[in-house]
Amino acid sequence: MINRNSRNTLRFLTRFHHHQHNPSSQFTSKTVFDENCKQLKRNVLPTENKAFNFFNPLTNFFKNKQLGHGISCGILQKCYYGSMGGAVQRSSRFSELNDDDVRYFEEILGKKNVVQDEDKLSVANIDWMHKYKGSSKLILQPCNTDQVSQILKYCNSRCLAVVPQGGNTGLVGGSVPVFDEVIVSLSSMNNIISFDKVSGILVCEAGCILENIMSFLDNEGFIMPLDLGAKGSCQIGGNVSTNAGGLRLVRYGSLHGNVLGVEAVLANGTVLDMLKTLRKDNTGYDLKHLFIGSEGSLGIVTKVSILTPPKLSSVNVALLACKDYSCCQKLLQEAKRKLGEILSAFEFLDGQSMDLVTNHLEGARNPFSTSHHNFYVLIETTGSDESSDKQKLEAFLLGSMENELIADGVLAQDINQASTFWRIREGISEALMKAGAVYKYDVSIPVENLYNLVEEMRSRLGDAANVIGYGHLGDGNLHLNVSVSQYDEKILSQIEPFVYEWTSKKRGSISAEHGVGLMKANEIFYSQSHETVQMMASIKNLMDPNHILNPYKVLPHSITS
Q: Give residues in contact with another protein (CB under 8 A).
A: 21, 23, 26, 218, 313-315, 320, 367, 386-387, 390, 394, 397-398, 401, 406, 408-417, 419
Cβ closest to another protein, residue 208 vs residue 406: 406
How many angstroms separate the CA atoms of 186 and 147, rounded?
A: 11
Cβ closest to another protein, residue 66 vs residue 384: 384
How many angstroms separate the CA atoms of 550 and 163, rounded?
A: 5
Cβ closest to another protein, residue 28 vs residue 144: 28
Residue 227 Cβ, how far from another protein at the closest point, in Å? 16
3-state SS class at 495: helix
CB atoms within 10 A of CB 196: 14
Cβ closest to another protein, residue 26 vs residue 558: 26
Cβ closest to another protein, residue 185 vs residue 382: 382
Q: Is the dihedral of CA 72, 75, 76, 78 positive or negative?
A: positive
Q: What are the residues facing 182 on neighbouring strands?
A: 162
Residue 458 Cβ, how far from another protein at the closest point, in Å? 30
Cβ closest to another protein, residue 156 vs residue 366: 366
Residue whose C-alpha is closest to residue 152's, from 28, 264, 55 = 264
How many angstroms separate the CA atoms of 522 and 86, rounded?
A: 10
Residue 401 Cβ, how far from another protein at the closest point, in Å? 6
Residue 380 Cβ, how far from another protein at the closest point, in Å? 13
Angle at 513 between CA 75 and CA 383, to 5 degrees: 130
3-state SS class at 67: coil
Residue 317 Cβ, how far from another protein at the closest point, in Å? 11
Cβ closest to another protein, residue 92 vs residue 387: 387
Residue whose C-alpha is closest to residue 147's, from 172, 198, 113, 98 = 113
Sequence-ordered alpha helix ranges (H) in 110-247: 118-124, 145-158, 210-220, 236-241
Side-chain half-sphere of 214: how many Cα atoms within 13 Å?
21
Phi, psi of 348 (to 5 degrees): -135, 155
Phi, psi of 116 (to 5 degrees): -125, 10
Residue 390 Cβ, how far from another protein at the closest point, in Å? 8
Q: Is the dihedral of CA 178, 132, 243, 237 positive or negative?
A: negative
Cβ closest to another protein, residue 157 vs residue 219: 219
Q: What are the residues facing 316 on neighbouring strands?
A: 381
Angle at 367 between CA 361 and CA 370, to 5 degrees: 110
Cβ closest to another protein, residue 165 vs residue 419: 419
Q: Going by DSSP bridges, is the β-strand pair 300-307/201-205 parallel, antiparallel, or unpaired?
A: antiparallel
Residue whose C-alpha is closest to residue 361's, from 449, 287, 427 = 427
Residue 389 Cβ, how far from another protein at the closest point, in Å? 11
Residue 320 Cβ, how far from another protein at the closest point, in Å? 8
- Does residue 275 contact residue 186 with C-beta atoms inside 8 Å? no
Residue 60 Cβ, how far from another protein at the closest point, in Å? 33
Using alpha carbons, list the distances in angstroms from residue 468 to 229, 453, 491, 508: 20, 10, 15, 19
Cβ closest to another protein, residue 110 vs residue 310: 310
Residue 530 Cβ, how far from another protein at the closest point, in Å? 51
Cβ closest to another protein, residue 38 vs residue 130: 38
Element (H, E) at 490: helix 489-495
How many angstroms separate the CA atoms of 526 and 496, rounded?
A: 12
Cβ closest to another protein, residue 424 vs residue 536: 424
Residue 221 Cβ, how far from another protein at the closest point, in Å? 9
Residue 313 Cβ, how far from another protein at the closest point, in Å? 4
Q: Give the gyration radius of the chain's Cα atoms.
A: 23
